[in-house]
């Protein structure tokens, strides 16, 4: 008996668009559920080595919640590439300035760290407010 492997082209044709409202959602729980959809784990034809996931639009990213003391205690670090160029930002400041980046980074951390993971990440669209330019794709509202 042969094992069924879905065709990559057929997987790309069947992609849907979902819209998630992040208003009042906890950041980590939101990110894990969005990552599942981007990977395609919610589908019966999930294959780990193929990109069979759907597109996800996250709106109201500035209204996402952080639990516990993460606002003051969690630190986002990046390096400029220059000597002594380590930059640190507290989570509450990062949420105030770049909430869309914060949500995107949380989702990226839950995707595979490969070319396939980068392809999955390109299907994620995050916006600060409730407006988005993807009305033509007719996204379905997804309640998490």
For residue 3, the model assigns a pLDDT of 85
For residue 67, the model assigns a pLDDT of 96
Note whether residue 55 is domain-resident: yes
Note whether residue 87 is domain-resident: no
Note whether residue 58 is domain-resident: yes
What Rg do the C-alpha atoms of the chain give, in angstroms?
17
Note whether residue 79 is domain-resident: no
Q: How many domains does the chain have?
A: 1
Note whether residue 75 is domain-resident: no
Strands (E), the chain: 17-21, 55-59, 75-79, 86-90, 124-126, 140-142
Note whether residue 22 is domain-resident: yes
The residues, any chain, with a CB within 8 Å of residue 48's CB and separated by 6 or more, are none
Residue 116 lies in domain = 16-66+100-142
How many helices, marked H, and strands, marked E, lie in the chain? 6, 6
Q: Any idea what the CATH number is for the domain that residue 40 is in?
A: 3.90.1180.10
Note whether residue 94 is domain-resident: no
For residue 11, the model assigns a pLDDT of 80
In this prediction, the residues of the chain whose per-residue pLDDT falls under 50 are none
Local structure of 26: helix, strand or coil:
strand
Local structure of 136: helix, strand or coil:
helix
Question: Which CA distances in Å does 6 have to 1, 2, 15, 108, 116?
Answer: 16, 12, 13, 25, 16
For residue 16, the model assigns a pLDDT of 96
Q: What is the pLDDT of residues 105-125, one digit of tens each?
A: 999 999 999 999 999 999 999
Note whether residue 123 is domain-resident: yes
Q: Could you count the other beta carbons within 10 Å of the beta carbon of residue 6?
A: 16
For residue 140, the model assigns a pLDDT of 97
């Amino acid at each position: 008996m042969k094992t069924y492997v879905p065709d990559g082209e057929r997987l790309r044709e069947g992609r849907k668009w979902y819209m998630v409202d992040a208003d009042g959602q906890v950041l980590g729980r939101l990110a894990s559920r969005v990552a599942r959809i981007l990977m395609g784990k919610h589908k019966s034809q999930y294959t780990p080595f193929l990109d069979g996931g759907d597109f996800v639009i996250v709106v109201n990213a500035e209204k996402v919640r952080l639990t516990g003391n993460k606002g003051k205690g969690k630190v986002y670090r990046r390096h400029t590439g220059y000597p002594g160029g380590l930059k640190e930002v507290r989570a509450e400041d990062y949420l105030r300035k770049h909430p869309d980046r914060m949500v995107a980074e949380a989702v990226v951390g839950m995707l595979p760290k490969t070319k396939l993971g980068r392809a999955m990440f390109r299907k994620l669209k995050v916006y600060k407010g409730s407006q988005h330019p993807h009305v033509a794709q007719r996204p379905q509202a997804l309640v998490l």
